[in-house]
């Protein structure tokens, strides 16, 4: 079978049209970034409770929502901004009555405050950052983009709720984005994987950041480079980003 068409620029991974086209091509057959649930089940289930109301951001065609349902977490809402993706996932998992599939942008969540016990994302934030060429000096545009999402995540979490972010980004790069006092949560992380480590970050709403994490959060803004015109997104490599992340 031919491999799915790759974008001509990594910035296309932030483009809804690219994802619509890709999901028309590959359908809803499961595809995983950073491995399936079996790779990090121990770390994830340590953060979940029976009866949790769970929101999965940028679900794509990952089987994660279905796998959680099979484990007994039956109140799972999965969103993606691609209507093609959501239509395919609704059809594929129609027999799982507890799973809800909604077309929605993570930057503007249509849920009331404190709706969820857990918000979970796997690779969505990475796709928003893939155009960045220098992880030490992230552009103000991308910092603002992530901030939009993280503010919404904090808003829809109940007090004591957990935001869980699964990524390949190492703590010295990613923690500073999460370590912002405005979100009102604490921050810790675990690792999984053998040959290559991935990271599972856990933010608990209503707990305080450590002094060290507060310093990291301040450095994000100190190191931010001056705003650049949109053209900076065009001169990018043609790396097979998705293939490198699928295990």
Distance CA 85, CA 27 (A): 8
Stronger pLDDT, 58 or 12, i.e. the higher one? 58
pLDDT-derived band at 227 (thresholds 50, 70, 90) equals very low
> Which backbone phi and psi does 24 adopt, to 5 degrees?
-65, -35
Instruction: Note whether 138 and 129 are within 8 A (CB).
Output: yes
How crowded is residue 190: how many other Cβ atoms within 10 Å of its Cβ?
A: 15
Greatest CA separation for the chain: 52
For 36, counting Cβ atoms within 10 Å of its Cβ (0-12 exposed, 13-18 middle, 19+ buried), the class is middle
Q: Is the pTM of this model over 0.85?
A: no
pLDDT-derived band at 5 (thresholds 50, 70, 90) equals low
> Mean of the per-residue pLDDT values for the chain?
84
Question: In this model, does residue 232 exceed pLDDT 70?
Answer: no
Question: In this model, does residue 243 exceed pLDDT 70?
Answer: no
pLDDT at 217: 95
User: Residue length, the chain?
Assistant: 247
pLDDT digits over 17-29, tens only?
665 666 667 666 6
Question: In this model, does residue 9 exceed pLDDT 60?
Answer: no
pLDDT at 223: 57
Nearest residue to 142 via CA among 222, 23, 228: 228
Q: Extract the tokens encoding 204.
A: 């608990």
Q: Extract the tokens encoding 16.
A: 């809804």
pLDDT digits over 153-192, tens only?
999 999 999 999 999 999 999 999 999 999 999 999 999 9
Distance CA 177, CA 124 (A): 14
pLDDT digits over 44-81, tens only?
999 999 999 999 999 998 999 999 999 999 999 999 98
Q: What is the DSSP letter of 54?
A: E
In the chain, count of helices (H) and strands (E)? 9, 7
């Amino acid at each position: 079978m031919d491999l799915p068409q790759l974008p001509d620029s990594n910035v296309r991974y932030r483009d809804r049209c690219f994802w619509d086209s890709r999901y028309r091509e590959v359908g809803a057959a499961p595809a995983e970034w950073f491995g399936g649930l079996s790779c990090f089940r121990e770390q994830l289930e340590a953060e979940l409770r029976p009866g949790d109301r769970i929101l999965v951001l940028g679900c794509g065609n990952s089987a994660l929502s279905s796998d959680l349902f099979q484990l007994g977490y039956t109140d799972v809402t999965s969103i993606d901004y691609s209507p093609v993706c959501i239509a395919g996932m609704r059809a594929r998992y129609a027999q799982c009555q507890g799973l809800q599939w909604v077309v929605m942008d993570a930057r503007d969540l249509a849920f009331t405050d404190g709706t969820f016990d857990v918000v979970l994302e796997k690779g969505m934030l990475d796709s928003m950052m893939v155009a960045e060429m220098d992880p030490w000096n992230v552009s103000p545009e991308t910092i603002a983009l992530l901030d939009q999402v993280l503010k919404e995540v904090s808003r829809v979490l109940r007090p004591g709720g957990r935001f869980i972010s699964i990524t390949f980004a190492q703590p010295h790069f990613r923690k500073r984005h999460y370590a912002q006092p405005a979100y009102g949560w604490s921050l810790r992380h675990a690792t999984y994987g053998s040959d290559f480590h991935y990271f599972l970050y856990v933010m608990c709403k209503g707990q305080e950041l450590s002094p060290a994490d507060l310093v990291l959060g301040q450095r994000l803004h100190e190191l931010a480079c001056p705003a650049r015109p949109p053209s900076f997104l065009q001169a990018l490599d043609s790396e097979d980003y998705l293939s490198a992340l699928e295990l």
